[in-house]
Amino acid sequence: MGEQEQRVEFETRIGAKELMDFKIYHNYHSVSGIASLLFGIIALVICIVSINRVNISYTLMMGFFGLFFTVYTPIGMKRKVNKQIKTVPAFAEPVKYVITPEKITLSQGEVSEELLWDDIFTIKCTGKSMILYITSVRANIIPLECLDRQQAENFIKIAREKLKPFQVKLNDAQVRTVTDMVNVIETFDAKETFALGEKIGKEVQPGDIFCLEGDLGVGKTVFTQGFAKGIGITEPVNSPTFTIVQEYKEGRIPLYHFDLYRIADISELDEIGYEEYFYSEGTCLVEWGNLYPEIFPENTIKIEISKDLSKGFDYRRVTIEKQQKED
């Protein structure tokens, strides 16, 4: 392998969507999870068949067990996931991965961990994430949307060389389907970030919705100003932190610029009628949209801007991802 193929670097950020995907996959690919689901389905069937045939208490009991294992369990799982995302500090910062044939290095803030390939139990794919199992119950989630196709291919190539075939349970077609929807662009100063925003703004169409993510000070405002210029807006553009949404209508199409940073509850978005903006003839650019991912439709385009100080103070990695539609 060439030098570039022997070293893969990327950052991951785990939100409620990624954690829920892992929980569902892990639970319903285990013996206990499959058994509980089958029991729930059988209980529901018995409940339906037994109506008006046996004692009503028996029918209700079967209905209760059926709903508990098929409906309540995933709902309870989702509530737990939302609580974890909000309260567990580890989900607040991105995790940086450096993959080499010798080891896997993970770093988050000032904390780092090194894993040898002998430490890896197995690698699986949910269709949306690669799951790096250290043990049968301890795992690291790597959302495929955080990698471009080349990064994913190099990662899998290294994994298959270092692990036994039965340990790498990855579907290459699934990985390609997701990573082909991701485009990674590097900028090296504010002017390049502005120019990238302007280029995307020139191509935007009515009804396009963008979820703009990135830490404070990463350059979201600079990108948005370029985006607005690309649409044809000449008035000053700044983040609408206190007004939630700012309207710009002088360009070739209206721009609705949201900032969800100070939103305390999703009901505040309902009050301003966010859906009317989303399904209008304009385009919506939403900063901090990752705080409320449930509001976005399937055709949302996600743009994440991140830093890497090892490549320079002004370096930015811009990841553009077209959302994968659910089947």
Mean pLDDT across 303-309: 90
pLDDT, tens digit, 9 for 90 and up, residues 26-48: 998 888 889 999 999 999 999 99
CA-nearest of 265, 302, 258 to 280 is 258
Q: DSSP label at 84?
A: H
Q: What is the mean pLDDT of residues 264-291?
A: 92
**What pLDDT score does 327 carry?**
42
Proportion of the chain above pLDDT 70, given as a percent? 95
pLDDT of residue 325: 46
Looking at the predicted structure, is the pLDDT value of residue 178 above 70? no
**C-alpha span between 327 and 324 (Å, rounded):** 9
Backbone angles phi, psi at 7, to 5 degrees: -140, 120
Instruction: Categorize the per-residue pLDDT at 145 as very low, low, confident or very high, splitting at 50, 70 and 90.
Output: confident
Architecture category of domain 182-322 in CATH? 3-Layer(aba) Sandwich (3.40)
Check whether 244 has a pLDDT greater than 50: yes
Residue 326 confidence (pLDDT): 47
SS3 of residue 12 by DSSP: strand
What is the C-alpha R_g of the chain? 23
Q: What is the DSSP code (8-state) at residue 69? A: I
Higher pLDDT, 93 or 208: 208
Q: How would residue 193 be classed by pLDDT, with cut points 50, 70 and 90?
A: very high
Confidence of residue 1 (pLDDT cuts 50, 70, 90): low
pTM exceeds cut of 0.85: no
Residue 324 clears pLDDT 60, i.e. is over it: no
Mean pLDDT of 22-28: 91
Give Cα separations from 133 to 85, 139, 141, 142, 280 (angstroms).
Answer: 20, 4, 9, 11, 44
Q: How far apart are CA 190 and CA 219, in angstroms?
A: 7
pLDDT at 239 over 90: no
The better pLDDT of the pair 2, 137 is held by: 137
- CA 288, 290, 292, 298 torsion: positive or negative? positive
SS3 assignment, position 314: coil
Q: Look at residue 177 in the predicted model and tell me its pLDDT.
A: 65
Torsion sign over Cα 275, 276, 278, 284: negative
Helices (H), 140-263: 149-162, 172-179, 190-203, 220-231
Residue 182, beta-bridge partner list: 321
Q: State the number of CA atoms in the 13 A half-sphere of 322 facing the CB.
A: 9
Tell me the average pLDDT of the chain. Answer: 89
Domain(s) of CATH 3.40.50.300: residues in the chain: 182-322
Contact (CB, 8 A) for 112 and 105: yes
pLDDT one-digit tens code per residue, 126-139: 888 999 999 988 99
Rounded distance between C-alpha atoms, residue 288 and residue 258, angstroms: 9
Of 31-40, 129-138, 234-243, 285-294, the one with minimum mean pLDDT is 234-243
Task: State pLDDT tens for residues 268-281.
Answer: 999 999 999 999 99
CB environment 229-243: b (16+ within 10 A), e (fewer): bbbebeeebebbeee
Give the three-state DSSP class for 269: helix
Mean pLDDT of 216-220: 92
pLDDT interval class at 181 (50, 70, 90): low
| Pairing of β 95-99 and β 103-108 | antiparallel
Gap between the Cα atoms of 61 and 64, Å rounded: 5
Instruction: Tell me the Ramachandran region of residue 288: left when phi exceeds 0, alpha when psi lies from -120 to 50, beta otherwise.
Output: left
Count Cβ atoms within 10 A of the Cβ of residue 225 and give its class: 0-12 exposed, 13-18 middle, 19 or more buried. buried
Contacts for 280 with CB less than 8 Å, ≥ 6 apart: 206, 207, 254, 256
